[in-house]
Chains A and B, each alone.
Chain A
Amino acid sequence: MPHATSPSPEQDAPANVEDSYMTDAPPAPAEDAERTGDTTDSQPLPANGAPPTLESMFDDDDDDGDEFSSSGPTKADESSQEKPQQQQPSKPKYSSPDILRQFYQRLFPFRWLFQWLNHSATPQPDFQNREFAFVLPGGAYIRYQSFMTADLFRKQCVQMTPERFEIGPQYSVNPRDRKQLRKASAFKPIMKELVFDIDMTDYDPIRTCCSGAAICNKCWQFIVMAVKVVDAALREDFGFQHILWVYSGRRGAHAWISDKRAREMDDTKRRALANYLVLTMGNEQGKRTGIKRPLHPHLDRSLKILNPYFQDTVLADQDPWHSPERAEKLLQLLPDKGLTTALQKKWDSTPDRSSNQKWADIDTVAEAGSLTTLSAKQLVDAKQDIRLEYTYPRLDAEVSKKLNHLLKSPFVIHPGTGRVCVPIDTRTLEDFDPLTVPTVTDLLQEIDAWDANHGTMSDEERAKVQDWQKTSLKGYVEYFRGYVAGLLKEESKGSKRGREEEVQEGAESMEF
C-alpha cells in the first residue's frame, strides 16, 4: 500500500466522515427522522453490518427485471471484454476493497451526485425512490437498492465497496418496499434521465488502429464525432439543455439528459428518439437501407459536422481502405459495376495508394466516364452514404429505449482500467484525452503528495481543503458541480413558477 498516511479504514473512518461531511445531507439524524417520518426506521441501515449482506443474498438470485429487455448484466455479453471476471486476474488492484473504500470515503462526489439525481437540495422521491444497482468485487449484482439521503448512500458505498454502481429509474414506490405491495404491477418505473451509450466496439468494422477493448487517441476521435452530432441534435432538435457527457472509463461515452421533459418520457418516446438518431447501416447480409433524399435536416447538419472529420480522422488517420482486402469493402459500397471494375483495375496496378487517394480516385475515374448505371447525382449520394457510414455515430440504442435500463454512474471506477468515469466538458471536447484521465491509484497518491507538500499548513486551514481538491479530480468535480448547479437553478425556477400559479389560482377562486 503506497498510502502511508492513511491507516486501516476502520481507524480513519471517523476522521474521514468528518472532513467530507456533506452539507446537503441532514446534519443531525434526528432532523432527518422528523422530516421523513418513520420511514428511516424501516430502512436497513448499512452501518449495522448484517442487513445489507442478507439483502444481497436475497436480492442476488431473485432479481426480477426481465433481463432480455434491460439492464447491465445481460447487456454486457456483447462486450465481454468489460466483464470484471476477466479483468480481475490481471488487474485486481483497482477493485480491491481497500482502494474502493478510500475512494468512496475521500473522493467520490456524493453530494453533487445526489443533487443531480434529486433535482433539489432536500431529498425527494426523485432520489429516494430511485434504484441503484451495486456490482460487488466478488461479481455479485445487487439490484433495487435505494437511499433516503445522500449520506446513507455514501455509508453503504463505503461499507460494501461496490466495484461500480449503476443508476436506474425512479419507481412509483421505494424499490426496497416492492415486495410488500399487494399488486406487483403497482411497482413501475416513472422517471429517469434519458441516456445514451456510445461504445467503441461498434466501430470495430471501420477502425484500423485498435480493436476490442483497446483505444488510442486516433479512434477516440470517433467518440468525439459522435458526441458532437448527438449533442447538436439533442439541443437543436429536441431542445434539451442539461446534457452531461461522461467518459465510460475505457473506450466510450455516456450521455445523461436531465431536462424534465426528457426524464418523463415513456418507452415509446425513448424508442422514437433513439431511432431518430440511429442510422441503420448496411449489415453483412448486404441489405442496405437506403438513406432517402433529400437528406433530413438532422442528417444534413450531421454531415456538415462530420465532413472535416472524414478527411482528417477517417481518411488520413484510420486509412481504412489501404490494403486491397479493405479496399474491397469500399468497392462494395459503390453501386456501379463499371465504376468498381475501373477502380479495381487502377488499384491493382498501383497497389500502394492511400485511402485519401482512393477516395479521390472515385471522382477521377467517374469523370473519365466509367459510370454505367449511376448518374453523377447518384454518385454524390453514394459518396455521402459512405461518409455517413464511416463517421455517423454508432449508438448502442437499446440502452436509450427503456425507461428501466440501468447505466453505470458517473465518477465510479472502471474495474479494468482503474480510470474514473469523469464528465466530459463539451466546450473543450477536443482537448479531452481518455488516456490521461486519472486512475484511482493515481488520485490516492496525489492526496498523499499534497499532504506531504503542505506539511507546514495549520490543521485549521488543512481541514478546509477536501481530499478531492488535492487531486486532479478537482477540475472534473468542479465542472460537475457547476453543471448540477445549473440544473438545480432551472428546476427551482420551474417549481417556483408552479407555486406562483397555484397562488394565482387560489386568488381567483377566492373571488367567487
Chain B
Amino acid sequence: MLAVTSAPRIDAKKRAVLDARKRQFAKATWETETYPHRLNFYLTPPTGDIALEQFEEWAIARLKVLAELEACQFRNRSPAETEEYMKPVLEKYMRLSSNASRSSEVDAERKRDHYSHWTLRLAFSSTADLRQRFARLEAQLFRLRMQWDDARERRAFIDSLAMSWETVSEEEKAQWRTELKAATRVWADEEESWFKVAWENVPELVERRQCLLKRGVAYVHVREQSTMVVNEFSRQLESGLELAGRFLPRMDEDNRLSPILHHLSQSFVAPDAGYSESSSIGDITIPTAASIDGLSQHFPLCMQNLHRELRKNSHLKHFGRLQYTLFLKGIGLSLEESILFWRKSFKLVADDKFKSEYLYNIRHTYGDVGGDANRRGRGYTPYSCQKLLTEAPPSSGQAHGCPYRTYAPDNLIALLQNVGVTDRPLLQGVREDVGKQRFHIACNRVFEHAHKGDLRKVKEEGLWAASELDTILHPNGYFKRSFLLKNLGRVKAGDLGVDGPGVGRSGEGEKMEM
C-alpha cells in the first residue's frame, strides 16, 4: 500500500515512450519505420508524428471496413460471398498494394494501415466485450488479406515471423508416410510436406484430430500454416489489447485523444448478437411459472424442444437446464417464478434432492448466489444462437443446443412436424439450409413462415424499423418478436416494436394504429 502512494505520479502527456535511462541509447524509430511486407503483425506501436485529423480519419476508415466485415457475418454470408463483398470496400477505404505493384503509395498505405490499427486498438481496449469483438474482426481482416496476398510475398512474410517450426525430413516422411497421410487427410494430389511443432502450439488441430502426434510433437501439414499464422495473430492481438486496456486509464487525462477514442468506440455499433434487456416481455405481460406452457408456442425450436423434453421426462440434464433457465430469465421470468417452475416441472424429484442439487444452480444463473462477479453481473446472460451453435453437441440423454444442428435431418423434420410445422415446401427449404449448415437461416425461415401474415402487415404499415426485421440471432429475440407479432392487435399501440416502449416512437405508433 505504501509503495503505491509513494510512487511518483507521471504526467501522462509528458511520459516518454522509452525509459529515460535507455532512451539515449535506443535506436530512433521515429518516422523511420519501414514496411517490407504488405501484411503486418502490428507488434510495434507507431512512433512517428501524425496530425490529429489523420489520427481520426484513418481510424474511421478502418472502422468502416471492420463494420462491413461484421455486417457480412450477421447477414450470414459465406466466406466466398464475404470475400466478394469486401474486396471493393477494402479497395475504397484501406487500399494496400503489393510490393509487385511498385506503387509509390505503398509506404503511405502501409503506414495508414499500421497507425489506424493502433488507434483502434486503443479505442477498443476499454471493455472485454469490445476487445473480443475487435480482435475477432481484425483477425478476419488479416485472414482475408493474407488470402489475397501474392503467394511469394506471403511466403516471405511467413518466413519473416519468428515461429518455431521445423520441416519434417525425408527419412521421417518415409517412416511415417501412411500415418501422416491418414492423420492430416492428405489427398492424392496434395503436396506431401509437413512440419513439426510442439503440440501445445496447435491445440485447434489436436482438438479436431487433424495432425499426427508422436510423443508430444505434432506433425502438421503445410496447408495449416496460414491458419496457424492467423491464430498467432489473434493470440498476439488479444494479449496486446489486454495490455492496452490496463494502460488506458492513465491516458484519460489527455483531452485531445480521449474524446476521439471515445467517439470511435461509441460508433462501433453494428447490430450485435448479444442479448439486450429489452428482449423480455416484462413491460407487456409478466410471465409466471404457470404461463410458460402457454408462452412456449412462441419459443424457438431449441427452447420448445427443451420444454417438450422437460414435460416428457420431468427432468432435464445440466446443460439443457442451464440453457432453458437462462432463456426463461431472458423473457422476464423472475427468480421466484423460475424456482417455482423448475420445482413443479421436476415432479419426480424429492424436495430435499431438489434443494441440494438444483436450487443452487437456478439461483446462480440469476446471480442470486456465487462469487462477487457473478452477483454483480446478475448471473449469466442468456445464450445467443452463436453460443448454441458452437458449443459441444449433446450426447445421449441431453437435449441442449440448436436442434437444427444437433438433429439428423429426418429427425429434425419429424420434430418440426410434431410442433406443428407441416408445410411441405417450408420443410424442404429447412432441409436444404441444414444441409448447407446454415442452421439459423433455417430457424429464421420457420419463423418467417409462421408469422407470414403479421410480418407483411408490419412491413406494409412500417410499424417496425428495418433492424427489427433483420435476421434473428438470439433465441430471446425470436421469442420477443414472435410474441409481439401474435399480439399485434392486443398489445397497446404504444408498446409496439421490439425495442419496447420507445419514447419517441410511441406517438408514431399510436397514429399508425388509428
Q: Shortest beta-carbon distance, B202 to chain A, in Å?
A: 8
A67-B360, A67-B370, A238-B216 known, 11 other contacts, Cβ within 8 Å: A61-B369, A68-B365, A83-B356, A139-B356, A238-B215, A283-B393, A283-B396, A285-B406, A286-B407, A295-B182, A299-B209
Contact B206 A276 (CB under 8 A): yes
Q: Which of B260-268, B371-379, B499-507 contacts A (4 or more CB under 8 A)?
A: B371-379
Q: Shortest beta-carbon distance, A76 to chain B, in Å?
A: 7
Q: Shortest beta-carbon distance, B246 to chain A, in Å?
A: 11
Complex Cα distance A497/B101, Å? 53
Mark A258-293 against chain B: 1 for CB-CB distance below 8 A, else 0.
000100010011011101100011011111110010
Q: List 12 A-B contacts (CB under 8 A).
A: A64-B372, A66-B364, A66-B371, A67-B370, A236-B214, A237-B213, A273-B203, A286-B410, A288-B408, A297-B212, A298-B209, A299-B209
Q: Shortest beta-carbon distance, B277 to chain A, in Å?
A: 22
Contact A236 B215 (CB under 8 A): yes
Contact B200 A265 (CB under 8 A): yes
A296 within 8 A of B: yes
Contact B411 A286 (CB under 8 A): yes
Q: Shortest beta-carbon distance, A66 to chain B, in Å?
A: 6
Contact B213 A280 (CB under 8 A): no
Chain A residues, Cβ within 8 Å of B360: 67, 74
**CB contacts between A and B, total, < 8 Å:** 123
Chain B residues, Cβ within 8 Å of A265: 200
Cross-interface CB contact of B361 among A67, A236, A280, cutoff 8 Å: A67
A459 within 8 A of B: no
Chain A residues, Cβ within 8 Å of B213: 236-238, 276, 298
B204 within 8 A of A: yes
Cross-interface CB contact of B371 among A61, A64, A236, cutoff 8 Å: A64
* A74-B361, A275-B207, A289-B393 given; A64·B374 CB < 8 A: yes
Chain A residues, Cβ within 8 Å of B374: 64, 66
Complex Cα distance A76/B317, Å? 12
CB neighbors of B among A287-324 (8 A):
287-289, 292, 294-300
CB neighbors of B among A205-257 (8 A):
205, 236-240
Complex Cα distance A80/B350, Å? 12
A85 within 8 A of B: yes
A77 within 8 A of B: yes
Contact B207 A292 (CB under 8 A): no
Closest 9 CB pairs of A and B: A64-B371, A239-B215, A239-B216, A272-B203, A237-B213, A286-B408, A272-B207, A294-B182, A286-B411
Chain B residues, Cβ within 8 Å of A83: 356-357
Contact B318 A78 (CB under 8 A): yes
Contact A287 B372 (CB under 8 A): no
A351 within 8 A of B: no
Q: Shortest beta-carbon distance, B233 to chain A, in Å?
A: 16
A65 within 8 A of B: yes
Chain A residues, Cβ within 8 Å of B364: 66-68
B82 within 8 A of A: no
A184 within 8 A of B: yes
Q: Shortest beta-carbon distance, A399 to chain B, in Å?
A: 13
Contact B181 A269 (CB under 8 A): no
Complex Cα distance A76/B408, Å? 30
Contact B204 A272 (CB under 8 A): yes
CB neighbors of B among A63-89 (8 A):
64-68, 74, 76-78, 80, 83, 85
A: number of interface residues (CB 8 Å): 47
Complex Cα distance A269/B373, Å? 25
B35 within 8 A of A: no
Cross-interface CB contact of B317 among A78, A272, A285, cutoff 8 Å: A78
CB neighbors of B among A158-211 (8 A):
184, 205
A interface residues with partner B (beta carbon < 8 Å): 61, 64-68, 74, 76-78, 80, 83, 85, 139, 184, 205, 236-240, 261, 265, 268-269, 271-273, 275-276, 280-281, 283-289, 292, 294-300
Question: Which chain B residue lies CB-closest to A285?
Answer: B407
Q: Shortest beta-carbon distance, B404 to chain A, in Å?
A: 11
Complex Cα distance A93/B155, Å? 70
B381 within 8 A of A: no
Complex Cα distance A78/B357, Å? 10
B183 within 8 A of A: yes
Chain A residues, Cβ within 8 Å of B410: 286
Complex Cα distance A139/B422, Å? 51
Complex Cα distance A76/B358, Å? 11
Contact A297 B215 (CB under 8 A): no
Question: Which chain A residue lies CB-closest to B201?
Answer: A269
Complex Cα distance A83/B349, Å? 14
Complex Cα distance A139/B356, Å? 10
Contact A283 B395 (CB under 8 A): yes
B324 within 8 A of A: no
Chain A residues, Cβ within 8 Å of B212: 297
Complex Cα distance A61/B363, Å? 13
Complex Cα distance A237/B206, Å? 10
Complex Cα distance A184/B213, Å? 38
Chain A residues, Cβ within 8 Å of B357: 76-77, 80, 83
Q: Shortest beta-carbon distance, B4 to chain A, in Å?
A: 10
Cross-interface CB contact of B353 among A80, A271, A285, cutoff 8 Å: A80
* A78-B317, A287-B393 given; A184·B214 CB < 8 A: no
B322 within 8 A of A: yes
Chain A residues, Cβ within 8 Å of B203: 268-269, 271-273
Q: Shortest beta-carbon distance, B75 to chain A, in Å?
A: 27
Contact A297 B396 (CB under 8 A): no
Contact A276 B372 (CB under 8 A): no
Q: Shortest beta-carbon distance, A205 to chain B, in Å?
A: 6
Contact B396 A281 (CB under 8 A): yes
B382 within 8 A of A: no
Complex Cα distance A417/B324, Å? 35
Contact B407 A205 (CB under 8 A): no
* A68-B361, A275-B207 given; A292·B396 CB < 8 A: no
Chain B residues, Cβ within 8 Å of A67: 360-361, 364, 370
Q: Shortest beta-carbon distance, B398 to chain A, in Å?
A: 7
Q: Shortest beta-carbon distance, A131 to chain B, in Å?
A: 15
Question: Which chain B residue lies CB-closest to A276?
Answer: B206
Contact A65 B371 (CB under 8 A): yes
B11 within 8 A of A: no
* A76-B357, A85-B356 given; A285·B411 CB < 8 A: yes
B254 within 8 A of A: no
Contact A287 B361 (CB under 8 A): no
Contact B356 A297 (CB under 8 A): no
B199 within 8 A of A: yes
Chain A residues, Cβ within 8 Å of B204: 272
Most buried by A among B203, B317, B398, B407: B203
Complex Cα distance A205/B412, Å? 22
Contact A237 B214 (CB under 8 A): yes
B403 within 8 A of A: yes
Q: Shortest beta-carbon distance, A300 to chain B, in Å?
A: 7
Q: Shortest beta-carbon distance, B281 to chain A, in Å?
A: 26
B185 within 8 A of A: yes
* A265-B200, A300-B182 given; A85·B352 CB < 8 A: yes
B8 within 8 A of A: no
B397 within 8 A of A: yes
Chain B residues, Cβ within 8 Å of A184: 371-373
Q: Shortest beta-carbon distance, B267 to chain A, in Å?
A: 30
Complex Cα distance A240/B396, Å? 31
Contact A287 B407 (CB under 8 A): yes
Contact B403 A276 (CB under 8 A): no
B432 within 8 A of A: no
CB neighbors of A among B155-212 (8 A):
179, 181-183, 185, 199-200, 203-204, 206-209, 212
Question: Which chain B residue lies CB-closest to A291?
Answer: B209
Cross-interface CB contact of B395 among A85, A281, A292, A297, cutoff 8 Å: A281
Chain B residues, Cβ within 8 Å of A284: 396-397
Contact B183 A296 (CB under 8 A): yes
Question: Which chain A residue lies CB-closest to B182?
Answer: A294
Q: Shortest beta-carbon distance, A136 to chain B, in Å?
A: 14
B46 within 8 A of A: no
B394 within 8 A of A: yes
